[in-house]
Amino acid sequence: MIVVMQPEASEAQIQSVIDHLVNLGFDIHRSTGVERTVLGCVGATANIDVRDVEVLEGVAEAHRISSPYKLAGRSFRPEGTIIKAGPLTIGGDEIPIIAGPCSIESREQLFAVAEQVAAAGARGLRGGAFKPRSSPYSFQGMGEEGLKLLREACDHYEMAAVSEVMSETQIPLMLQYVDILQVGARNMQNFNLLRELGKIRKPILLKRGIAATIEELLLSAEYIMAGGNYEVILCERGIRTFETYTRNTLDLSAIPVVHKLSHLPIIADPSHGTGRRDKVPPMARAAVAAGGDGVIMEVHCNPEKALSDGAQSLYPQQFTKLMEELRLIATAVNKRVAPARAFAAQQR
Ligand code: PEP
Ligand code: MN
């Protein structure tokens, strides 16, 4: 059930409604918007008549939620969710671009690409330290050493650090170094991991599973939010279809669908979505045009030598050109992409 308080409801009235609902057996998730407070009520099994709640003092309306996700649903925060992570804001007027290598491979590799993407206007630096590889014999990542490098590069170039957490045992380590914890496609339904991420208070980048429906993606977000962590960024990264030309099929229609169903921001990953460098710029442009709240892309200074996902990694010059195009497209949809920065170029 969702309970919308009147704009003029006092704190005492809100508290008394919360107490009443807790007594009925609900877990209450409070969303304090600019205009009014919304209470997301989950968990009670008894059949409650919403009219009994609507007559409580300070309540504007109460309604049952028919969708299985209550907190991820649009009605919990009709105005949308804005998430801040380091120097990056997502869900507002600016569309942050997150870029970097698939895997952190060495200090030289990471800093070289960080400088280039920072100068081009990226707000976030991505880089895997723990890699979910299809083969156990492929490069598995640098681990904590990689996370330290990512933190250092992000502090130096003023970017938010984004890296994948593969298991709940890695969470304390990740918290020391990253601003956004990524849940990979293969872990979208790792419910133990999602529950643990609900207990922390840092933004989560939740990637859509390879064969997951949009509803399943929102239900996975609900797992995190049910623990009280409402800072979930969704990511469309391509799903598996009968098409084999591209690595996955980037389902950009998920962007307007999610915007209708949910208040959570959604970004696109055209790198994993296509698997081919030449297909990344057109799909990144399309993602911004479709209203995406951000784009995450793989960039590498020497992709032929990359330890993972070289074929889908952009060259830095390609990325810089693409950023200029994204700025133009963002303007057409009343958004903006951060400008290029001069500081990195001067340090070269
Ligand atoms: C990645 O971001 O490098 C990655 C492994 O992504 P996904 O989980 O979408 O495959
Ligand atoms: Mn990758």
What pLDDT does 34 receive?
Answer: 87
Ligand 1 neighbourhood includes 247 CB (under 6 angstroms): no
- Return the CATH number at 26: 3.30.70.1140
pLDDT, tens digit, 9 for 90 and up, residues 228-266: 999 999 999 999 999 999 999 999 999 999 999 999 999
Q: Tell me: do 230 and 117 sit in the same domain.
A: yes
Q: Which of 266, 293, 297 is nearest to 283 (CA)?
A: 297
Q: Residues 260, 117: one domain?
A: yes
Q: Distance between CA 330 and CA 263 in Å, rounded?
A: 20
The confidence score (pLDDT) of residue 346 equals 47
Q: How far apart are CA 284 and CA 27, in angstroms?
A: 40
- Is the CB–ligand 1 distance for residue 208 below 6 Å? no
The total number of structural domains in the chain stands at: 2
Whether 164 and 261 map to the same domain: the answer is: yes
Residue 46 in domain: yes
Task: Output the CA 100–ligand 2 centroid distance in Å.
Answer: 10
Within a domain: 338: no
Model confidence pLDDT, tens digit, residues 42-70: 987 778 899 999 999 999 999 998 889 99
What CATH number is attached to the domain comprising 225?
Answer: 3.20.20.70
Minimum CA distance residue for ligand 1 atom 9 = 185
Q: Is residue 270 part of a domain?
A: yes
Return the residue matching tokens 């671009």.
97
Establish whether residue 188 lines the binding site of ligand 1, counting it when its CB lies within 6 angstroms of any ligand atom: no
> Nearest residue CA, atom 6 of ligand 1?
184
For residue 72, tell me if it sits in a domain. Answer: no
In a domain, 340, yes or no: no
Half-sphere exposure of 139 (CA within 13 A, CB side): 17
Asked if residue 166 is part of any domain, the answer here is yes
Instruction: Clarify whether residues 9 and 98 are in a common domain.
Output: no
Can you give the pLDDT at residue 343?
A: 67
Please state the pTM of the whole predicted model: 0.95
Instruction: Tell me the residue range of the domain where 213 lies.
Output: 83-332
Check if 270 has its Cβ closer than 6 Å to any atom of ligand 1.
no
- Which whole number is the average pLDDT over 304-316? 98
C-alpha to C-alpha distance for 345 and 120, rounded to whole angstroms = 10
DSSP 283-319: HHHHHHHTT-S-EEEEB-SSGGG-SS-GGGPBPHHHH
